[in-house]
Amino acid sequence: MALDDPHILKNPQTKLLIGGAWVDGVGGTTIAVENPYDGSKIADIAEATAADVDRAVEAAEAAFPAWRALAAHERGRLLLKLADRIEEEAAELARLEAIDTGHPIRDCLNLDVPRTALCFRYFGGMADKLEGSVIPVDAGFLNYVEREPIGVVGAIVPWNFPLMFTSWKMGPALAAGNTVVIKPSEITPLSTLRIGELMMEVGIPGGVVNIVTGYGHTAGQRIAEHPRIGKVAFTGSTATGRRIVEASASNLKKIQLELGGKGPNIIFEDADIPAAVAGSAFAIFHNQGQACIAGSRLIVHETIADDVLQRFTELARSIRIGDPLDPETEMGPLTSRLHQSRVLSYVDVAKEEGGQILTGGKPPEGAAYAGGCFVEPTVVRAKPGDRVAREEVFGPFVTALTFRTDEEALAIANGTDYGLGSGLWTQNLTRAHRFARALHAGMVWINTYKRVHPGSPFGGVGMSGYGREMGFEAMREYTQPKSVWVNVDAQIPPFYRR
């Protein structure tokens, strides 16, 4: 590559952030970070081990008393300054995220970076808004409940939206007065490290945020089991979530899990078909389908199925695949070679089960795609019991299913162990509200899909995890209630009066 190649990052941060200093890992080893567009190496980052996590926890513990004691509005002011800096660095952050993840830069600029700034700004404003409560109890007594920060929080961020999920974890944790040890994915750590630099620039004290870049089975495992971490917030696979719960038993720490999904996306016969087709394409193909809330099961009424699927497959074939730094690109590469192989393996599974590949199912052809982790938008017609209709593929891979009645649609939609996002398209408001209540999911979108906002709780049920990101719910997740009783009238317990 030429030195002026836009895919080359100049001096990205590659060290660990511990106690306000950028340091090498104890073992001195590194991890290669690769560009999913062409397979080139972006950087070598420091590999954090269990010993580095221990150092980070010590730094977070040391910083906690002063950070907790800082006036809530001052914590908020620092988060607001951080939001401003993120907006000022929007172009750089978007390019960094696009190179590291393969996410199209137009989405990074229009969605990921603005949502990251908005999240920090929301929780900056929330810092001094979280209130306690007074409980009506027996006469002569005052009982009030205040919410206290947990202490040191461990956060584990996935590789699909690293920039955005960093803000989702750190925003409420810091606003509530906690200190943080955060581990980004070793595949996509660079935007989290850049946020660490910006945090130091705006004056967030050393040790309040500590960033450890390491593997899940070492650094992540140590965060999950560490006896002095009071909470772990994790976004990732259901299998890893189970292991985190098991590891957390050492000190019964609080756990928040945002796990996998197999989002049902129902199109009824009275839907606005052009809107439903376009919205459903965004639901599955945005970020190459690498989203836990992706609408990966397209459930269509049989009377309109042929029309919808023809329109949908034509749209899928028209999606512009290419260089994530090209503003015209609508879908970039998957984030790693290993994940590309996993997604393509489900094409074989679909064929074995008798599924019909309507489009896609392979890497795009041509020299421009040869070095990248690309997969064409894939549409598979299948049956509700097939593996591809039950298991999370986590790629640009949608399973098309049909139904006859509302009852059948609901049974198909609720027919997996997951319960994260779900959507439906209909002009019938009565049906829409009835389904919103009956769907086994933490979130329901009606005549839209994948809408998120810092004020709206985000999370799932069933094997999609528990706890909530965003909004007042998130502030509660990062605090614990303390009940205080006051004997206002100085009453003496009747059994002990003399």
In the set 108, 119, 292, 373, the catalytic residue is 292
Closest CA to 451 of 262, 282, 233: 282
Distance CA 202, CA 117 (A): 14
- Tell me if residue 477 is catalytic: no
- Strand-by-strand arrangement of the 443-446 sheet: 356-359, 378-381, 397-403, 297-301, 264-267, 421-425, 443-446
Q: If you search the block for the tokens 């899909």, which residue do you land on?
A: 449
Helix 190-202, helix 90-101: angle, nearest 10: 160
User: Cα dihedral sign for 54, 79, 287, 417?
Assistant: positive
Q: Give every strand in the sheet of 254-258, ordered side by side.
A: 21-23, 16-18, 209-211, 179-183, 152-156, 231-235, 254-258, 465-466
Distance CA 77, CA 93 (A): 22
Cβ proximity of 101 and 36 under 8 Å: yes
Our answer to whether residue 148 is catalytic in this structure is no
- Neighbouring residues of 139: CB distance < 8 A, sequence distance ≥ 6: none
With beta carbons less than 8 A apart as the criterion, state whether 166 and 184 touch: yes
With residue 110 as reference, give the H or E element that holds it: none
Query: Which of 155, 164, 389, 420 shows the shortest CA–CA distance to 292?
Result: 420
CB atoms inside a 10 Å sphere around CB 451: 11
Catalytic residue among 97, 225, 258, 376: 258
What amino acid positions are annotated as catalytic residues?
Answer: 258, 292
